Amino acid sequence: MHLHPNWVGVVAFAISFLECVALIGFFVPGAVLFTAIGSLIGAGVVSAPMVLIPTIIGAILGDALSFLLGYHYREHLRDIWPFKFYPGLLQKGESFFYRHGGKSVLAARFIGPIRPMLPLVAGMLNMPPWRFTIVNSISAVIWAPIYMLPGFLLGKASTALPPDVAMNLMLYVIVILLILWCISWLIKRLIAWIFNTLHDGLDKLWLVIKDRPWLHPLHIALQDPLHPESHAQLTLGLYFIFMSVFFGWIAWSVITQGMLTSWNHSALFLLRSLRNPSVDPVFIIFTMMGDPKVMLGVFIVLLLWFFGIRAYRTAVHWGMLGIFAFGGTELFKYIVHSPRPWGLWLTPSGYSFPSGHTALSAAMMGFFAVLVARELKKTQQWMPYTLATLLVLAIAISRLYLGAHWLTDVVGAMFFAMAVVMLMTLSYRRQPTPRLKLLPLCLVLILSWGGIATVYGLKQYHQITQDYTIVVSAKVLAMDDWWNYDGIDEPFYRLGRTGKPAQVLNVQWAGNIENIKNNLMAKGWHVSPNTTFEAILERLNKPSKTRKKMEMPVLPPLYQEQRPVLVMTKNVDSSDSLLLLRLWNSKTRFTDSSTPLWLGNVTYLYAWQAGFFHLHPQKVNLSAQPAVTFLEEDLDDYVWKQLSYPFSAHNAFAKLEWDGQIVLVKPKNEGNG
């Protein structure tokens, strides 16, 4: 299309038309293709009217054809292949049309799974043609530019790049979107097949339980009095067993420090590396919402309200839920005896497994969603479950983000809470229970939770913010002791974002950071600019034959959860090879000098070569001279010395590409060196 822009309008018409035709539209990756076409508009290859007008016409005609087919065959559609063998294809569209009427034609345009079927259903259900034509035309005019907007923005961003980079960028995005579309299509089909298979299997199992006399007590215990033929209670019972087994497995793994706990440190370091002062308050608010004191207050208010409105059976189950959730959490904390993660200003009291915030919020919000969903139509029951899930996930992620819990604490708490919810729901549905008034029920939760959390937050927010601050212990020593100490067996190194050794810090530099920067700039070093959006995009470009592109990481490397304070580069010879120097705050204070100490690393900067199906480092042709010696040549205004570590230390860090050399640098007027 880039080489033949005159054909773009024809292609856009064809894609739009086919995507809107019943059944055929399921197999057309319209989102991917229109992203590609939109990028051509953004890049200025084709004009917007040249594409939008054919797209709108194609969408109108495609929907019109589907509508006419439905209008012509009416109810006979149900007897025609494939609807005769797959009635669900029509049922989803019918359900949506009955709920929303004529507005469904407009709404369905933006909902992929029902977009090709809704016009067919509208015709089958005898929607007036003139009304359909109006709504269809309006929806097409709105849909076409919105559908192409992501591609347009992508194309617009690419104009700031060189042509070869921009073309690579667009090709990468299109291929990735196409792959994601195929994967999502396969996942949807796989999930549908799994659920259908499970549904059929549970139906057969329920019939077996029902027909076997010796299983009659189990049948009575699991039978739903409102829907005696349904296997829903059996499903809840199996869920309870699965959740309990998984929780027990996680708890045993924590006790024995088994396989699952191997992810804990990586998750802790990764999330701590993403800590941002501007984002911290959001997660602190969520963690306060899930605080056991807050959840206890909400639990008591709802319990009293259930008793107050004489919903005694609901009150009993809510009370039992609280006993299991609060009591079980404390019991398992005592049994498992897992210590908390380290590194916070004030480590939260108590043991770590399972997470109390996560378990209590998941148990209470999960069962509350069950109570709300019971009062809604079947088509609306997803809403309380979705809202409850989002709230609980926010609280759970806040515990991980703030470093208050291990990953296994949160995951285990989820399984524990869901087991409690399944058990309470199973019991609650065994007998008919008077309906609850939905609006007062939701208002009581919102007002109690919001009010208690607000009062708690006003009193504790500043203290909690301080408690969850990451603390790195500072070192104190004399400058002469630092300079003269040669007996270190292991060098300083920084950890990667998953907690594994990533790089030896082969530079220890005492001095004012501005003076260091200015001295190096005078020697030909350059301060590396901050990563920009355009620089990130440009990384998709292959290194050219005449100039290799030396790429900085998108995420800056960290030392003790802090970014480097200085990043500089320098050409080391007539080629385009680069040296890279990074310096971090060492958190070390000299007792006899106010000069700060910086830890850093000097190394060669690699170029990254990207292809469609691989991404690998293309190393620069290194000279025989180690990177640290190039830095030493530029230290005329400083005193420096080089340490050579013993082979044992060097060999232990060989995989980090360290040559065993470290340079110590300080101002000439400091110490006795």
Model confidence pLDDT, tens digit, residues 207-253: 777 777 777 677 676 777 667 677 777 888 888 999 999 999 999 99
For range 113-121, the mean pLDDT: 76
The pLDDT value given to residue 300:
95
3-class SS at 613?
coil
Instruction: Name the domain boundary from 161, 190, 219.
Output: 190
- Residue 576 and residue 522 in one domain: yes
Q: What's the confidence (pLDDT) of residue 620?
A: 45
User: To the nearest 10°, the Cα dihedral for 33, 35, 41, 45?
Assistant: -60
Looking at the structure, tell me whether residues 376 and 253 fall in a common domain.
yes
Crossing angle between the packed helical segments 312-322 and 292-308, to the nearest 10 degrees: 160
Domain assignment present for residue 414? The answer is yes
Helical (H) or strand (E) element with 365 = helix 356-374
Q: Which two tokens stand for residue 278?
A: 């501007």
Report residue 53: phi and psi, to 5°.
-65, -50
Tokens of 125: 């259900």
Query: For position 537, what pLDDT does the model report?
Result: 45
Domain assignment of residue 655, yes or no? yes
Q: What tokens were used for 336?
A: 């498992």
pLDDT tens digits, one per residue of 276-331: 888 889 999 999 999 999 999 999 999 999 999 999 999 999 999 999 999 999 99
| 489 and 584 assigned to the same domain | yes
The 10s digit of each residue's pLDDT in 635-661 is 888 888 888 776 555 555 667 767 777
Same domain, 500 and 426: no
pLDDT at 156: 64
- Same domain? For 586 and 644 the reply is yes
Q: Which residue has the higher pLDDT, 444 or 429?
A: 444
449 within some domain:
no
Higher pLDDT, 192 or 600: 600
DSSP 121-138: HHHHTT--HHHHHHHHHH
Q: Give 257: exposed, middle or buried? Use CB within 10 Å, 0-12, 13-18, 19+.
A: exposed
CA distance 319 to 306: 10
- Pair (80, 140) in one structural domain: yes
Position 410 scores a pLDDT of: 95
Minimum mean pLDDT among 425-439, 534-548, 646-660: which range? Answer: 534-548
In a shared domain, residues 424 and 486: no
Q: Is 533 contained in some domain? A: yes
Residue 213 lies in a domain: no
* Boundary residue ending a domain (375, 410, 431): 431
Integer Cα distance of 394 and 402 in angstroms? 12
Please state the rounded mean pLDDT for residues 539-568: 63
The answer to the question of residue 594 being in a domain is: yes
What's the domain count of the chain? 3
In a domain, 285, yes or no: yes
* Whether pLDDT at 159 is above 80: no
Q: Model confidence over 475-510: pLDDT tens digits? A: 888 888 888 876 555 567 788 777 777 888 888 898
Is there a single domain that holds both residue 663 and residue 516?
yes
Q: Work out the average pLDDT over 408-436.
A: 91
For range 166-172, the mean pLDDT: 62
Summarised one tens digit per residue, pLDDT across range 24-49 is: 777 776 676 777 777 777 767 777 78
- Identify the helix (H) or strand (E) that includes residue 610: strand 607-610
- Asked whether residue 184 falls in the same domain as residue 232, the answer is no
Q: Which pLDDT value is given to residue 474?
A: 76
Long-range contacts of the stretch 457-460 (C-beta < 8 A, 24+): 457/285, 457/288, 460/288
Please tell me the pTM assigned to this model: 0.69
Average pLDDT for the chain:
79
Q: How many residues does the chain have?
A: 673
Residues 279 and 324 in one domain: yes
Q: What burial class does residue 52 get, using C-beta atoms within 10 Å of its C-beta: 0-12 exposed, 13-18 middle, 19+ buried?
A: buried
Q: Is the pLDDT reported for residue 547 higher than 70?
A: no
- 147 with 252, same domain: the answer is no
Contacts of 1-10 with C-beta under 8 Å, sequence gap 24+, read: 1/36, 1/37, 1/40, 2/40, 2/45, 2/167, 5/40, 5/45, 5/46, 8/37, 8/40, 8/45, 8/46, 8/50, 8/51, 9/46, 9/50, 9/51, 9/53, 9/54, 10/54
Does residue 96 surpass a pLDDT of 50?
yes
Distance CA 304, CA 662 (A): 68
- Tell which residue, 61, 82, 66, has the closest CA to residue 122: 66
Tell me whether residue 461 is in a domain. Answer: no
User: In terms of domains, do 559 and 655 share one?
Assistant: yes
What phi and psi, each to the nearest 5 degrees, are found at residue 108? -65, -25
Q: What is the pLDDT of residues 337-381, one digit of tens each?
A: 889 998 888 878 888 999 999 999 999 999 999 999 988 887 788
- How many whole angstroms separate alpha carbon 127 and alpha carbon 366? 41
Task: Give residue 375's domain range.
Answer: 227-431
Position 83 confidence tier, pLDDT thresholds 50, 70, 90: low
- First-last CA distance in the chain: 68
